[in-house]
Amino acid sequence: MADDRFAEARRRLIAEIEAEAADTEAWTGRGRFAPAVMNALARVPRHAFVAATDQNAAYVNRPLPIGHGQTISQPYIVAVMTDLLDIAPGDRVLEIGTGCGYQAAVLAELADRVFSVEVVPSLAAAARDRLAALGYRNVAIRVGDGYDGWPEEAPFDGILVTSAPPRLPPRLVEQLKPGGRMVVPVGLPGETQMLFRCVKTPDGEIAQEAKLPVAFVPMVPAGSASD
């Protein structure tokens, strides 16, 4: 890591995520996250994805605002969602909700290719520039409706959704490979949401496991978001 002024804060954050993983094992079934996931969290410079005024809080285990009513997710949530996706070398992953690009960078450390869809054009443009400047060449970003996914690049080994739809989006289910995994928070605005790990069976059905109560911004269709 070129910028060592955050080294100690980053170390404390990784230790806190490890402790929280143990504390939430009864929910998630995962008392320890995969070493590859933790190494990815340690490599990605979270301070590069937040406003300059928020950099001192970049390695605190909480979400931070990024504008347009959106947030950069809590690092523990990024870790648990990434771990539940079970990314293998060579996997192609779809992310719904690019935001500032932080989760995409974590995925890019693990997957062969990451395709990310953002509904807010200015967020997509800024994330694209930021990821390119940081050297992430295996991430493609486009502006679009997350409910539609990215059918031209389907099917995907994994799909990660960073905002909450009221139910599983059927077009995303269609774009998942047999054996593929989807990690998605589901729930209505203002109500308790649940993080689900979904696996597509060989016959095209979806096996769902509830993993953790969460709070995400609602997933909005194109035309409902403001730039």
Exposure b/e, 137-150, CB count within 10 A at least 16 = b: ebbebebbbbbebb
224 is an active site residue? no
Take residue 100 and report the two structure tokens written for it.
Answer: 């500032």
d(CA 139, CA 62): 25
Neighbouring-strand partners of residue 72: 64
Catalytic residue among 73, 163, 224, 226: 73
Taking Cα atoms as reference points, which of 85, 95, 109, 68 lies closest to residue 175? 95
Which long-range CB contacts under 8 A does 57-65 form with residues at least 24 apart? 58/6, 58/9, 59/6, 59/9, 59/10, 59/12, 59/13, 60/9, 60/13, 61/13, 61/16, 61/17, 61/20
Cβ(212)–Cβ(195) below 8 Å: yes
- Active-site annotation, residues: 73
